[in-house]
A and B are shown apart, each in its own frame.
Chain A
Amino acid sequence: MKIIIHMLVTLTVIGVISGGLLSQISGWADPLIAEHRQQETESAIFEVQPSAKKYEKVTSVNYELYKVFDENGNDMGYALPYEGNGFQGKIRLMVGINHTLDQVVGMRVLEQVETPGLGTKIVTDPSNKENNSWFPEQFNGVQPTPEISVVKNAKPSKKSEIMAITGATISSKAVVAIINSGIQELRKLQEEVK
């Protein structure tokens, strides 16, 4: 009996001290962590919408969506963080699009776990010395009408095409599929508003 009480008391005391300490530290760390996340989102928004000056969270939808404006408050379109399946895991990206939804302004991959050296070229491609971000930059000005498509081993001939990464076709297609379904979602939203 004595030993049981001893065991209970020891574990309780350690647990209480540990819990108290951790709640103190998380009280200090949580606002900082939230701030980093905020900053990250903000820098991504301005990267996919380079001419935007202000943004505003759209609260009427149940997913994350930002509406962006230039310095005079003119509607510049949207910045949409969207995610989907990549080759090995989730890819999360942010896409900037104009307000009529017929031209992509920019794209940036936020999180990915693709194969190092192959699929990671969707972010940067160190093997291309002239422009290591050629893949994401292809999306600048692409026209998703009706939707973006991928071509292999050739230069894109239409305004709606982008070129796949050699050796990472699945990752390239995944990025395009995520963007397409994100844009679908936005189209639905605009229909509803009309």
Chain B
Amino acid sequence: MANKVTLTREFLKGLWEQNAVFKQVLGMCPVLAVTVSAENGIAMALATTFALVFSSFIVSLIKNWIPAQVRIAAYILIIATFVTIVDLVMKAQFPSLSKALGPFIPLIIVNCLILGRQEAFASKNSVLRAVLDALGMGTGFLIALFLLGSTRELFGSGTILGFQIMPDVYEPWLIMILPAGAFLTLGLMMGFFRTYSEKKKRVERDSIVDKYLRAKKVAETNPLEAN
């Protein structure tokens, strides 16, 4: 079944079609909590991607040895190892970033995006596919967190990645960097993207119906020709 899908698709599907945040609505807790600025969003997504890629790699490597009864425990153990590595490296090398993300880094362990990909994908596919899938999902997560983070930062503090974008007279909307702003932005973005993809679907469907109706009309007015 999986072999029908090309390797590039395996990577690309995570970017948009099955985007973890906008389409699968997974891993919402870090999405809502840390996206007060674009920088935090990027850091969070990179940390998650690192843990996701390595966990997917290991899980798909040893998938045949893990008894089904304890698979979740085994996945959590593997994920926790990599998340702790990220946490320690961040604390040692990027102390200010680690301070800004606070307790959310250790919480990646229970991020349902990572566990979800292990259960749904890595435990059923080859190592290469699992890693590509993880990279795609991670990149999709990065795109989503960057979009959310930069929007909130733009309206909430008038900057993007720390650079002043809004003119000096702009009064920042405080609500955007408060928790409520996360829900508002995420809801509006999801609504916007959903409208777009629904519209695309409708246009496609309409064109098929249109084609059929035209063929039918031709057949009715001119039965001989149609035969």
Interface string of B162-174 (1 = CB under 8 A from A): 0000001000101
With A7-B70, A11-B73 in contact, is A18–B157 under 8 Å at CB? no
Instruction: Give every chain B residue within 8 A of A58 (Cβ-Cβ).
Output: none
Mark interface residues in B70-95 (1 if CB within 8 Å of A CB, else 0).
10011001101100110011011101
Chain B: residues with Cβ within 8 Å of the partner, total of: 28
Of A3, A10, A25, A126, the residue contacting B74 (CB under 8 A) is A10
* A6 touches B (CB below 8 Å): yes
Q: Is the C-beta of A189 less than 8 angstroms from some C-beta in chain B? A: no
* Cα–Cα, bound, A11→B80 (Å): 13
A-B contact count (CB 8 A): 65
> With contacts A32-B93, A116-B178 known, is A10 near B78, CB below 8 A?
no
Q: Whose C-beta in chain B lies nearest to the C-beta of A22?
A: B84
CA distance A14 to B70 in the complex (A): 12
Docked-complex contact B74 and A14, CB < 8 angstroms: yes
Q: How large is the interface on A (under 10, 10 to 19, 20 to 34, 35 or more residues)?
A: 20 to 34
Cβ contacts under 8 Å, B99 to chain A: 111
> Is the CB of B65 closer than 8 A to any CB of chain A?
yes
B70 touches A117 (CB 8 A): no
Quick check: A18 and B81 within 8 Å, CB to CB?
yes
* Residues in B neighbouring A15, C-beta threshold 8 A: 77
Query: How many Å from the CB of B198 to the closest CB on chain A?
Result: 35
Chain A residues, Cβ within 8 Å of B89 = 25, 29
Known A-B contacts A10-B65, A116-B174, A116-B177; A29 and B70 likewise in contact (beta carbons under 8 Å): no
* Interchain residue pairs with CB less than 8 A apart (19): A10-B65, A11-B73, A11-B77, A15-B77, A18-B80, A22-B85, A25-B84, A26-B88, A28-B92, A29-B91, A32-B92, A40-B95, A115-B178, A116-B156, A116-B177, A117-B156, A117-B172, A117-B177, A118-B174
Known A32-B92, A36-B95; further 4 A-B contacts with Cβ < 8 A: A18-B78, A32-B91, A36-B92, A116-B36
